[in-house]
């Protein structure tokens, strides 16, 4: 299904921008795999009459990441744990620096149901290229994900217990949203 030409603005009221982390290391059983929602973000999808004129811009507030779920671990994730993780993300991982994505090329599939996106992601003050696919479903639903290798952006994955428990270098960033009615 093709997206209607025009400017489409998206934010948390239209869907979810999430980050999934996995745990690794000798003490991985003690930690949690996390589902984190970005609660303050905005995206603009400019769809031209000529599909080659399509562009995507996304800005996210790095201090708006909130742990929604923690699976695994020796004990359930409590409110204090969630607050501590949020503080660590803000102070040590993302260092309160904005997150920005700017597309450099967007190719539309023959049926308009898939967008192949290439662009530049700025994370932790460093900009690197990234590519991902977005699927356009019924009722203008957009979904897709990208794997972000933290070290490519100069981010040291969080670790504790002298490195025996750490967050895996690769995290999955996913978008699941509906375009607002025109």
Name the token pair of 86.
Answer: 């949020």
For residue 22, being part of any structural domain is answered with yes
For residue 31, being part of any structural domain is answered with yes
Average pLDDT, 10 consecutive residues per value, the chain (182 residues): 84 96 86 93 91 90 94 88 92 92 90 88 95 90 95 90 85 94 69
For residue 23, being part of any structural domain is answered with yes
Mark out the alpha helices in the chain (DSSP H runs). 79-88
For residue 56, being part of any structural domain is answered with yes
Which pLDDT belongs to residue 182?
63
- Domain span at residue 40 reads 6-178
Q: Where are the extended beta strands (E) located within the chain?
A: 6-10, 15-21, 23-24, 33-38, 41-47, 55-60, 65-71, 99-108, 114-123, 126-137, 141-149, 159-160, 165-167, 170-178
Which pLDDT belongs to residue 1?
56
For residue 1, being part of any structural domain is answered with no
Which pLDDT belongs to residue 140?
85
Which pLDDT belongs to residue 110?
73
How far from 97 is each of 93, 129, 131, CA to CA, in Å?
A: 10, 18, 22
Q: What is the CATH number of the domain that holds 63?
A: 2.40.128.110
Size of the chain in residues? 182
> Cα 117 vs. chain centroid, distance in angstroms?
14
Which pLDDT belongs to residue 116?
93
For residue 125, being part of any structural domain is answered with yes
How many structural domains compose the chain? Answer: 1
């Amino acid at each position: 299904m093709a997206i209607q030409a025009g400017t489409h603005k998206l934010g948390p009221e239209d869907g979810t921008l999430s980050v999934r982390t996995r745990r690794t290391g000798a003490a991985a059983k003690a930690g949690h795999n996390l589902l984190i929602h970005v609660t303050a973000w905005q995206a603009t999808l400019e769809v031209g009459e000529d599909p080659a004129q399509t562009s995507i811009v996304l800005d996210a507030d790095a201090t708006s990441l909130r742990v929604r779920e923690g699976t695994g671990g020796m004990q359930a994730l409590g409110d204090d744990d969630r607050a501590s993780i949020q503080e660590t993300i803000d102070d040590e991982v993302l260092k309160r620096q904005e997150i920005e994505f700017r597309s450099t090329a967007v190719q539309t599939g023959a049926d308009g149901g898939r967008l192949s996106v290439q662009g530049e992601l700025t994370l932790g003050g460093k900009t690197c290229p990234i590519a991902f696919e977005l699927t356009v479903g019924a009722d203008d639903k957009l979904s897709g994900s990208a794997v972000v290798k933290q070290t490519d952006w100069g981010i040291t994955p969080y670790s504790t217990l002298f490195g025996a428990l750490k967050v895996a270098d690769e995290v999955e960033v996913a978008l699941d949203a509906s375009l607002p009615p025109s």
